[in-house]
Copies of this chain bind each other. A is one copy, B any other.
Amino acid sequence: QCIIDNVVDLKVQAAITSIVSATLAKAKLLCQDVSARGALVSCPAGYKPTGCACGMGCGSWDIRTDSTCHCQCAGIDWTAARCCKIGV
């Protein structure tokens, strides 16, 4: 008799836990910087801005539509975005 259910249950649980852990351990933050002249710069597709930097020493910024860094100081010369995503 094949007591498949129990055997599969036990083996599957152990195998899944092991492989999932090993795979997740490889998951990493992949990040890159993008910058542009002016007060706006967008992250590449698939990346999210995690912070922004501005020219002229300016630290006042906001993020528009979850994708674009906007520096608020008047006459800003450049804007940079730190853009990250999850990679395996």
Q: Which residues of A contact B (CB under 8 A)?
A: 2, 4-5, 7-9, 11-13, 15-17, 19-21, 23-25, 27-29, 31-33, 35, 48-63, 66, 72-73, 80, 82, 84-86, 88
- The answer to whether B24 touches A88 (Cβ under 8 A) is yes
Which residues on the B side are within 8 Å of A31 (C-beta)?
Answer: 48-50, 63, 66
Q: Which of B21, B52, B54, B66 contacts A51 (CB 8 A)?
A: B52
Query: How many copies, total?
Result: 3
Which residues on the B side are within 8 Å of A28 (C-beta)?
Answer: 48, 85-86
Which residues on the B side are within 8 Å of A25 (C-beta)?
Answer: 88
Q: Which of B54, B84, B86 contacts A59 (CB 8 A)?
A: B54
